[in-house]
Amino acid sequence: MNRKLPAPKGQYKVGYGKPPKDTRFTKGQSGNPNGRPKGSKNKTWSKTQQPLNDIILSEAYRLVRVDEEAGPASIPVVQVVMRKLSVQAAQGDPRSQRMLVDLVQSVERQNRAEYLEAVETAITYVVEAEKELTRRERLGIDGPEILPHPDDFRMNEETGFPFIAGPVCRADKVRHEGIYESIRKLEGLVEKAEEDVLRYTDQDEIAELQESIRLCKNAIKKLDAEIKGWRPN
């Protein structure tokens, strides 16, 4: 279940919408007298690639088979390591206990910082966007459509994190409007089919209508979830 983001009590300052000569090659001399290293012809590394980091993460998340109570399962190596650490800590090993507590506290601090940053960013955006909308209304002027719209911000009651339950750009709004229109058409079909069920007497026809109603409602539910319950403002 989700609810609208609460209005903040304070104001935020963030606004809306805001080679040396002696190293040169000698003429006629190759810059690489030994030639291309073997096997390097098709191997390229970009400046942003970090091969060692990739290897570390690949090994950390490589799946291995373990025996669970419910039977064999495949889990990442890093999870196996953490599980062993937790077991050793539970068995009273002081070093494992200290390491586990430090890890948990570190993760909790990071999660808390990310949460506070997300909430502050969302509230700042909502406050400034609503301020701009109020200014336009007061002056009787129009302006570029504000997307995402401040009314489309929500807070997940389970995680506490804000999220946008609506379009974030013009193309996304077109997509949302198309899905919403499909929902309306399906709702119209459901309404008519439910009326026909009350009028029909043939049980086969009634059963067919009820199946159509069920399929339409399932489709509506999936489409509605895709746009997170969004409706045009």
pLDDT of residue 25: 47
pLDDT tens column, 68-79? 888 999 999 999
> Angle at Cα 166 formed by Cα 164 and Cα 169, nearest 5°?
100
pLDDT tens column, 143-169? 999 999 999 999 999 999 999 999 999
Cβ count within 10 A of residue 154: 19
Grouping H, G, I as helix, E, B as strand and the rest as coil, residue 67 is strand
Closest CA to 157 of 48, 2, 28, 43: 2
Domain ranges of the chain: 166-233
Percent of the chain with pLDDT over 70: 79
**Cβ burial, residue 122 (10 Å; 0-12/13-18/19+):** buried
The CA-based dihedral angle spanning residues 178, 181, 187, 190, taken in that order and rounded to the nearest 10 degrees: -70
Is it the case that residue 41 has pLDDT exceeding 80? no
Is it the case that residue 62 has pLDDT exceeding 50? yes
pLDDT of residue 4: 54
pLDDT of residue 1: 53
**pTM of this prediction exceeds 0.75:** no
Answer for the pair 132, 143: CB distance below 8 angstroms, yes or no: yes
**Whole-number Cα distances in Å, 108 to 90, 104, 112, 118, 226:** 20, 6, 6, 15, 31
Is it the case that residue 19 has pLDDT exceeding 80? no
Partnered with residue 71 across adjacent β-strands are 68
Percent of the chain with pLDDT over 90: 74
Tell me the average pLDDT of the chain.
86
pLDDT of residue 35: 53
Band of residue 233 on the pLDDT scale cut at 50, 70, 90: confident
DSSP one-letter string for 180-216:
HHHHHHHHHHHHHHHHHHHH---HHHHHHHHHHHHHH
Partnered with residue 64 across adjacent β-strands are 75
Q: What average pLDDT does this structure show over 131-135?
A: 96
Q: What average pLDDT does this structure show over 204-216?
A: 96
Is it the case that residue 34 has pLDDT exceeding 80? no
Is it the case that residue 31 has pLDDT exceeding 90? no
CA distance 91 to 80: 17
Q: What average pLDDT does this structure show over 53-77?
A: 93
